[in-house]
Amino acid sequence: MAKLQTPHAVRGTQDMFGEGQERFAHVIDTFDRVRRLYGFKGVEVPVIEPTAVFARSLGETTDVVSKEMYSFDDRGGDSVTLRPEFTAGIARAYLTNGWQQHAPMKLATAGPLFRYERPQKGRYRQFHQLDAEVIGAAEPIADVELLGFADQLLKELGIASGVVLTLNTLGDGDSRDAWRAALIAHYEAHRSALSEDSIDRLGRNPLRILDSKDPRDIAINDTAPGIDDYLSDAARDFFAAVTTGLDAAGIAWTRNSRLVRGLDYYRHTAFEFITNRLGAQGTVIGGGRYDGLIETLGGPATPAVGWAAGIERLAMLIDAPAGDAPDVVLVPLGEAAENRAIALIAALRRAGIAADMGYKGNMKKRLQRADASGARYAVILGEEELARGEAALKDLRDGSQRSVALSALAAAIIAA
């Protein structure tokens, strides 16, 4: 009989349990709490969308679309794609559900995304993001509020000191196009001195040459035209309003005029929250304004801003959260006591007390488990105690123990 081979997990996916899962959950819990503080409504959208949703909105030449999407034909012959990002799918939902009536909409969601990439630390094929969007608002105050949300999230996660907000503007459509043309002219003039990668970028995504790490490119970037010289008055005013708003809100930021973003849809504000604690994967939250996106999906001109945060990356940066521990563990001795304990534990749980009880084991075993669970108390139910209508309430931290009437047990635990 041949041995059965256990299938392994798909490359770039992960199984989470224990501390890893607790970190992950804590990031989402914190996000969900802060999101309410800022008036962002929860939204749920499909993990799978028609391929066109992403292909059209992200830009055909971007890496995400050209080589990283999990796309396949379903049984009906339609091309569908596992979402590689949130924004395009949310924009699609906005249009197909007629959510224009709710504009401006402040939306938040979290969940898995899929990108066929080479896995590294903080980088997976199935990864998870927090996402926040403001759709249907052209005002710079929306940018400020959105950034404030991100900033407070990081603070409440306790990692703000290791992360900095870097900010830039890409200008409006006209500004961006003019700057882009000037950059192409500049790089074409120095084409022979560029790195191979950047010559390739010149054709696909010239803005990306700006943050190249290749020394040959860095020299040419020094003399490259800056966005500030191509900003229209409106674009300049917009950016100024965002930065003064950030200052007013007490949100620290630094300008990085070289910051560009990979996806084609960004306009005006672009930003990244960056840390140096994750190696090459330093971006922890990234986003910007995408006023042109909804039109590319066949909708009306609709201004919008948003960001996404890598849950795995945030989870690696935070301190280990306190794990789940019951308030109390019941330790029945004998069959009769176990039956009483079943009734008692139900009553404790209904009273809002986190109570647990092993399925089997002698007293020693049960106390060991109670201790390992991190519970504050053990309730020992033996014949002697039950005969008196009492139980022994044992404090597992200092070992002290006292008798409490069964009817007063819940109150005693809550009071402690």
Query: Which positions lie near RNA, rule CB under 7 A?
Result: 3, 8, 11-12, 62-64, 68, 85, 115, 117-124, 127, 129, 197, 201, 205, 208, 212-214, 261-263, 272, 279-287, 308-310, 312-313, 333, 362-365, 367-368, 370-372, 380, 382-385, 392, 394, 396-399, 401
Q: Would you say 75 or 118 has its CB closer to RNA?
A: 118
Q: Report the nearest approach of RNA to the CB of residue 196 (Å).
A: 9
The encoded tokens of residue 105 equal 């909409």
Q: Would you say 111 or 282 has its CB closer to RNA?
A: 282
Q: Report the nearest approach of RNA to the CB of residue 28 (Å).
A: 14
Q: Would you say 396 or 410 has its CB closer to RNA?
A: 396
Angstrom distances, CA of residue 87 to CA of 4, 43, 172: 43, 12, 19
Q: Would you say 196 or 233 has its CB closer to RNA?
A: 196
Q: Torsion angle of alpha carbons 79, 84, 88, 93, nearest 10°?
A: 70
The full 3-state SS of 151-168, as one line of letters, equals: HHHHHHCCCHHHCEEEEE
Q: Report the nearest approach of RNA to the CB of residue 118 (Å).
A: 4
Q: What DSSP character marks residue 139?
A: S
Q: Report the nearest approach of RNA to the CB of residue 123 (Å).
A: 4
Q: Would you say 233 or 358 has its CB closer to RNA?
A: 358
Closest among 325, 320, 322, 413 to 373, alpha carbons compared? 325
Would you say how long the chain is, in residues? Answer: 416
The encoded tokens of residue 19 equal 């501390």
Q: Report the nearest approach of RNA to the CB of residue 224 (Å).
A: 16
Q: Report the nearest approach of RNA to the CB of residue 171 (Å).
A: 18
Cβ pair 26, 314 in contact under 8 A = no
Q: Report the nearest approach of RNA to the CB of residue 191 (Å).
A: 16
Instruction: Classify residue 202 as exposed, middle or buried by CB count within 10 Å of its CB (0-12, 13-18, 19+).
Output: middle
**DSSP string over 53-83:** HHHHHH-TTSHHHHHS-EEEE-TTS-EEEE-
Q: Report the nearest approach of RNA to the CB of residue 317 (Å).
A: 11
Q: Would you say 104 or 262 has its CB closer to RNA?
A: 262
Closest among 345, 342, 344, 367 to 354, alpha carbons compared? 345
Q: Would you say 81 or 129 has its CB closer to RNA?
A: 129
Q: Would you say 239 or 377 has its CB closer to RNA?
A: 377
Closest among 368, 355, 389, 371 to 403, alpha carbons compared? 389
For residue 405, how many C-alpha atoms fall within 13 Å in the half-sphere facing its CB?
A: 3
